[in-house]
Amino acid sequence: MNLLEGIESRKSIAKVKQDQLEKEKIGELLRLATLAPNHHLTEPWRFFVMTGEGRKVLGDAYRDIALENNTDASEELIDSKQQKKARRAPVVIAVAVSFRSQNEIERREDCAATHAAIQNMLLGAYGMGLGAMWRSGAPMYHPRMKQAFGLDENSELVGLLYIGYPEIEPEKKTRKPISEVTTWID
């Protein structure tokens, strides 16, 4: 498969097998991430690879956040549900950006570079026959999640990548026609 075919056919895959991934494949995904373009070569990305019981760090953070908003369910039920969420894949990579300054433009550039690193990992996973899903959402931005990964005030999470061997073939999804999202300026 060439690069263009890979970009065109890659899909997010949420359902993956719990089979363990080879460390070499995980290492290669991280290496590909660090090849992303980044302004002034700041390499602002930080990666936290969770496997096995290491995923409990994420599950505990999910649980604590869910407990803040809970009024009905038991703590045990919430813990079980949130631990299951953290174990949706055999490998979860939390991706953070470490800002180089307080300058708003530089912070945006650092975020853009880190998002490009995530895209490199998604494409790399697809090229290796792996399924991957980039997840975010409100819990990811909660202070408890930052605390779980030891992030300081100059860092923040930008994505959680769930990676494993695909359990299913993803549905073919359609996108808006290019004409609906493009303005030509001649």
* Residue 49, token pair as written in the block: 């690879």
Q: Which residues pair with 162 in a beta bridge?
A: 92, 133
**Which residue, among 133, 150, 142, has the nearest Cα to 62 in the 3D structure?**
142
Q: Confirm or deny that 134 is annotated as ligand binding.
A: yes
Side chain identity, residue 21: L
**Which residue, among 25, 61, 48, 54, has the nearest Cα to 98 in the 3D structure?**
48
CB atoms within 10 A of CB 31: 12
**Residue showing tokens 């631990």:** 83
**Which residue, among 118, 124, 131, 126, has the nearest Cα to 162 in the 3D structure?**
131
Helix (H, G, I), strand (E, B) or coil at 39: helix
Q: Confirm or deny that 46 is annotated as ligand binding.
A: no
Residue 110 CA, chain-centre distance (Å), reads 16
Q: Confirm or deny that 10 is annotated as ligand binding.
A: yes
* Residue 71, token pair as written in the block: 């009024």
Task: Enumerate the known binding-site residues for FMN.
Answer: 10-12, 39, 134-136
Task: Enumerate the known binding-site residues.
Answer: 10-12, 39, 134-136
